[in-house]
Amino acid sequence: MSVSRKSLISTFLAGGLLLSLIGATPASAAPTIALSINGVVISTASVSTTPASVTVPSDNSVDAVDAVRFFLTNVDAGTTVTVAATNSFIVPALSTTLNPVRSNAGVTSANYNVGTGTTSEFFAYTRSTGLGTITISNGGSTYTFYLRGTAGPAYTIAYTPNAKPFTSTLVKQSVKITDVFGNAVVGVTPSLSLINLTSTTPTSSGADGTSEFTLTYPSAAGKSALSVSIPAVDVIGLDPAVKAISTFIDVTDANGEIAMAAAAVAVEKAARTADKVAADAALAAEKTARATEKAAGDKALADEKAARAADKVATDAALAAEKAARAADKVAADKALTDEKAARAADKAASDKALATLTTRVATLTKQVADLKALYNKLAVKFKQKTIK
């Protein structure tokens, strides 16, 4: 059976494609992350209850014992490893003599470009005894790890002495000891230096770094002194250590203080009594003055009301007189108007009578003229004279 060259080529190509598909790697492989501290492998840090434990960099240098080394392998070339820290810090390398890494050098987020390789490395440390987290993201995968710091040596002491204690009293005292970053230092007790005092031995009382002791103050009033100290050494680059707190104490007699306080209270009461007497007198005087002012005000108001009443009577009388005068004026005006009207009527009657008489007279004269004219024309005709119209 013969096989064509074209068929063989197609078969080889299909087989090669199948082999390439079978042997192909995923588009994004999950990296392998190894943790260690100073060369010791850490395998439990992915659980918050079993975090990686490191010492805080109390000497201001991030060394191998202070940091967790994160070493990633099988990282896809060309990708970026993203790291975020909470209550912790990230550095790319540890401290060396030539390149020191100080306690404030870390950052809380960083990106590491893998480039052409397949590995990535960084370190994480903390300045706190609280729980910290490191979150790593790469190729679509996210991983969370936990770390916790252990406190450094005693560096700072905090203590507040009693200002003015009484004689023969026993008073419990508290001292708090912390490291350079403020973390409680457990199990360390301070040293005491006492003058005119006695004390119990300080004991560490809890996980908060507190130590307690009881002072007994002397039976006689006077000066005492106390110094509380720890063996601390200043760290270069950080705040100086608070190694000791020393104070002078005024020990006072309770009975004397009570007597002085009672005397002060008596003086204060007397002053307050005097103040009250003066205040009562001032109040009484003020009340009397206010009563006098009120009486004067009431009298002035009454006088004003009487004056207003008198003014009203006078005004009413003036108004009545004005009204009477206006009424009399109206009567006189009405009479004058009536007389004027009567005079006008009499004048009109006389005028009308004169006009009637005149009219009658004109009519009589007109008739006489007409009669004379008729007689003249009659005679003119008779004597052949020109007539008149």
- My answer on whether 96 and 170 are in the same domain is no
CB 215 within 8 A of CB 171: yes
Q: What is the pLDDT of residue 259?
A: 75
Residues 324-350 pLDDT 10s: 999 989 998 898 899 899 889 989 989
Written in H, E and C, the secondary structure of the chain is: CCCCHHHHHHHHHHHHHHHHHHCCCCCCCCCEEEEEECCEEECCCCCCCCCEEEECCCCCCCCHHHCEEEEEECCCCCCEEEEEEECCEEECCCCCCCCCCCCCCCECEEEEECCCCCCEEEEEECCCCCEEEEEEEECCEEEEEEEEEECCCCCEEECCCCCCCECCCEEEEEEEEECCCCCECCCCCCEEEEECCEECCCEECCCCCEEEEEEECCCCCEEEEEEEECCCCCCCCCCCCECEEEEEEEEECHHHHHHHHHHHHHHHHHHHHHHHHHHHHHHHHHHHHHHHHHHHHHHHHHHHHHHHHHHHHHHHHHHHHHHHHHHHHHHHHHHHHHHHHHHHHHHHHHHHHHHHHHHHHHHHHHHHHHHHHHHHHHHHHHCCCCCCC
User: For the whole prediction, is pTM greater than 0.75?
Assistant: no
- My answer on whether 135 and 181 are in the same domain is no
Any domain includes 220: yes
Any domain includes 371: no
* Number of domains composing the chain: 2
What is the domain extent for residue 236? 156-252
Residues 175-195 pLDDT 10s: 999 999 999 999 999 999 999
Q: What is the pLDDT of residue 27?
A: 54
For residue 197, the domain's CATH number is 2.60.40.10
Q: What is the pLDDT of residue 262?
A: 82
- My answer on whether 126 and 168 are in the same domain is no
The stretches in the chain having pLDDT less than 70 are 1-28
* Domain stop point among 252, 286, 316: 252
- My answer on whether 144 and 184 are in the same domain is no
